[in-house]
Amino acid sequence: MEIKNITILGNGLMGSGIAQIIAESGFEVTIWSRRGKDGLDRLYKGIQKAVDKKILTENQATLLLSHINCTSSLSDAVKAADLIIEAVIEDLAVKTAIFREVTAYCPFHAIITSNTSSLSISHLAESTKRPDKVAGMHFFNPAYAMKLVEVVQTPQTSEETKDSIVDFSQKIAKIP
């Protein structure tokens, strides 16, 4: 499956970092934040820090930001997603509720992943109507600097889902 539109659920340290590296690779990114556009402060600071350190030029930063949209509506955030990367608080009840809700709004082909490194991906997959499209996609911190992405395949995860995540990780210059 070709991945073009990516949704990041959560805009904390990890969500913002993941959004930045994906947008830098030229992909369209939608960030879901309960605070809406006000929640992009961390992302803007990270991009400005990259400009200040001459990692990015002002033009590159502007181009990067043109690939990022933000909304406080979960249904709007996932309605056109090919890949969803959940990066909210490490609380199984919160993540499970989000996975259940996301399943109701996203396209059937969408792959749903979690950035968790400590919670059961299988448990999260069980909260959806499509466990074959659920996997782990754990970025290491800081996401912009660390090259590895841990891809977690559950017994229910399809090979197509795993292969799509591995391929996408390579497209954003990460090592799965």
Taken in order 165, 167, 168, 172, the sign of the CA dihedral is positive
Determine the pLDDT at residue 84.
98
Edge-to-edge strands, sheet with 111-114: 68-71, 28-32, 5-9, 83-86, 111-114, 134-139, 149-152
Whole-angstrom Cα distance, residue 1 to residue 46?
A: 31
Mean pLDDT by runs of 10 across the 176 residues of the chain is 95 91 94 77 82 90 90 96 97 96 96 96 95 97 92 97 98 97
User: In this predicted structure, what is the pLDDT of residue 38?
Assistant: 63
The CATH superfamily label for domain 5-171 reads NAD(P)-binding Rossmann-like Domain (3.40.50.720)
Q: What pLDDT score was predicted for residue 86?
A: 98
What pLDDT does 90 receive?
Answer: 95
Domain boundaries, the chain: 5-171
